[in-house]
A and B are shown apart, each in its own frame.
Chain A
């Protein structure tokens, strides 16, 4: 449901629909204990909206207004991912198993979430090492040599990631991870009231988005 709503957020046409999605993400974040994140995102959303309002009267800023709209859209999937990233991996696998999602999809999704903190740690390590060699040490040098800076981040990042992916894959295969065969879960996955609330509000959000869309099209 979360995935559905956040995907639809990327295709939204109207401001009201975006706001509806935001309210839904709000419910999701608060239900699963990320109140701080919810507040942060709302503040950022408000600030960007305000910025758009200010920029309406000048036409010198080029694509900037469009950018604020896109950032607000991209915020929704980020909000959707927040509780999942912090959840124990076992819970995620158990829940996906219960939904009868194919094993291959479950594993690739889990690996994706596992890689997020790794990627940010790798990025910080690389940026730090670059400063010593005078690559992108200051804002000015980044502006002067944008391609060199990007290349020097991407190359080591790709090398590290492919190495990690290889070693990780070896490490889980010798521990019996495979696509076929029977497996069990240590974590229990149960559907509780929170999930019910989410499903109802999710369905309502999608219906409402559809209705506003039809309404707008009719003029």
Chain B
């Protein structure tokens, strides 16, 4: 047994409720264990217990026992635990210390005083094993999200830890990049590395898992063997609030009748020497949800930013509801919800956020109150938006979008990092906004989400 947790509970300092309650779990060597469950179920906290960040970095009270390879994990320093356990975190932007790929990968070895020739040998070994040799010495900021996550895995594995812990590593990856991450994990598993992965997206893991641990409200609500997990029906997975292992694309591209809202004709966009969009024409209908898919870097976000007037096109025209509009005018007709809500919330309270830059007439205030009620946010109307969870922040933004009543609403990857239940709720919410006559564009690689809400798909060439 590599890891043994017994009756473990944890409460963050300053929080009134325990985040983990009586967790008992054993992990055997060579296994790949999937940790899953709805947002806020405690799976991230559990990964933090494993790597020692709780309670050594995030303070709190704990009870119960934690053994790593027979030693008491609560008596070991972060550095010591780090020699047993390698970590990959969710957001590549904040886990990299270096600006350069090679420096990032050797960092854990430098900190442990490895000799130069050993570092060189390991670099070569992992470069070949994970297929990233050609990335060495590149600038980290220039890499795609998929490449960044591969570098993060290499940086965690070079000191050959017995256990690799990954916390939602696919949150920023498209379908192809997630599949590649799956292949990479398979390689590591063959080498005998024990892996624990906390994740909402399951499709890229279906071939790999040995066990699935489902959590709810800080407790383990079920442990399934590989066979049992894959045999669960769609309804059973929905009941657990999870996404599916094998989502099937259901919506096919068909032309549906309707009134055209957003029309983009022969859009060309160049930045420097690079042509990002060449002659793209595209229509979206009033009251319908159009999903825009395609691999990372294909130009999906660029196209939508041009539609919203956030980026300048080199040539081509954009019209909204039959009227040709210049860039600045489009800024006032579209609402764009970006990937990260942290950049988009400015006001001191949720209520003021929803009414930001809107006339505070009694009717508007009443409408805002109703909206918060509808979106399950009225309990938070006096709270600071930054103190809410990711899903709640997104709903606050949508409330603001509804208040503005703009004809076109664009969302960039609204379901990355959302569990099955919240993803389905988001689909319902978008449907009701579309029904009021708004034209909605959603950039997404989430097959289940597309199945749930899209009327049309625009697949990027």
A residues within 8 Å of B by Cβ? 88-90, 93, 110-111, 113-114, 117-118, 121-122, 125-126, 128-135, 137-138, 151-152, 155-156, 159-160, 163-164, 167-178, 181-187
Contacts and interface: CB of A to CB of B under 8 A. Distances in A.
25 contacts: A90-B100, A110-B97, A113-B99, A114-B99, A125-B343, A126-B343, A129-B344, A131-B331, A132-B308, A132-B335, A132-B336, A137-B328, A138-B328, A167-B89, A167-B95, A171-B87, A171-B94, A172-B107, A174-B78, A174-B81, A174-B82, A175-B108, A176-B79, A176-B108, A184-B110
A184 B107 contact: no
B52 A174 contact: yes
A174 B110 contact: no
A122 B82 contact: no
A171 B95 contact: yes
B113 interface: yes
Contacts of B93: 118, 164
B331 A132 contact: yes
B456 interface: no
A160 B93 CA distance: 11
A122 B340 CA distance: 11
A135 B96 CA distance: 32
Contacts of A168: 94-97
Interface in B145-172: 155-156, 159
Contact of A114 (B97, B344, B346): B97
A131 B83 CA distance: 47
Contacts of A160: 342-343
Contact of A177 (B52, B107, B340): B107
Given A132-B310, A173-B57, A186-B106, A156 B111 contact: no
Contacts of B386: 155, 159
B25 interface: no
Interface in B92-138: 93-100, 102-103, 106-116, 119, 137
B434 interface: no
Contacts of A176: 79, 82-83, 108, 111-112, 159
A128 B334 CA distance: 13
Given A167-B94, A186-B103, A133 B116 contact: no
B112 A170 contact: no
B119 A131 contact: no
A126 to B, nearest CB: 5
A71 to B, nearest CB: 27
Please give me the 6 A-B residue pairs with the lowest Cβ-Cβ distance, nearest first: A90-B103, A176-B111, A167-B94, A89-B98, A88-B100, A175-B108
Nearest to A126: B343
Interface of B: 51-53, 57, 78-79, 81-83, 85, 87, 89, 91, 93-100, 102-103, 106-116, 119, 137, 141, 155-156, 159, 305, 308-310, 328, 331-332, 334-336, 338, 340, 342-346, 356-357, 386, 400
Given A111-B97, A129-B338, A131-B310, 15 more contacts: A88-B137, A90-B100, A90-B106, A126-B343, A133-B344, A133-B357, A155-B346, A163-B342, A167-B89, A171-B96, A173-B78, A174-B53, A174-B82, A184-B109, A187-B103
Most A CB atoms within 10 A — which of B78, B155, B343? B343
B94 A164 contact: yes
A130 B115 CA distance: 50
Contact of B102 (A88, A133, A171): A88
Nearest to A169: B57
A89 B53 contact: no
Nearest to A158: B386
Contacts of B113: 181-184
Nearest to B345: A156
Given A114-B99, A132-B331, A170 B110 contact: no
B346 A135 contact: yes
A126 B111 CA distance: 35
Contacts of A93: 110
Contacts of A178: 79, 111
Contact of A174 (B51, B94, B96, B356): B51
Most A CB atoms within 10 A — which of B91, B109, B159, B357? B357
Given A156-B346, A178-B79, A184 B99 contact: no
Contacts of B155: 175
Given A88-B98, A132-B308, A160-B342, A175 B356 contact: no
Contacts of A132: 308, 310, 331, 334-336
B304 to A, nearest CB: 12
B100 A175 contact: no
Given A130-B346, A159-B386, A185-B110, A167 B116 contact: no
A183 B308 contact: no
A175 B111 contact: yes
A104 B310 CA distance: 42
Contacts of B81: 174
Contacts of B344: 129, 133, 156
A171 B97 contact: yes
A89 B111 contact: no
B142 to A, nearest CB: 11
Contacts of A170: 53, 57, 89
A140 B153 CA distance: 47
Nearest to B141: A117
A130 to B, nearest CB: 7
A159 to B, nearest CB: 5
A160 B83 CA distance: 30
A93 B107 CA distance: 11
Nearest to A89: B98
A117 B139 CA distance: 12
Contact of B346 (A89, A137, A151, A173): A151
A176 B51 CA distance: 12
B95 A125 contact: no
A88 B104 CA distance: 10
B357 A134 contact: yes
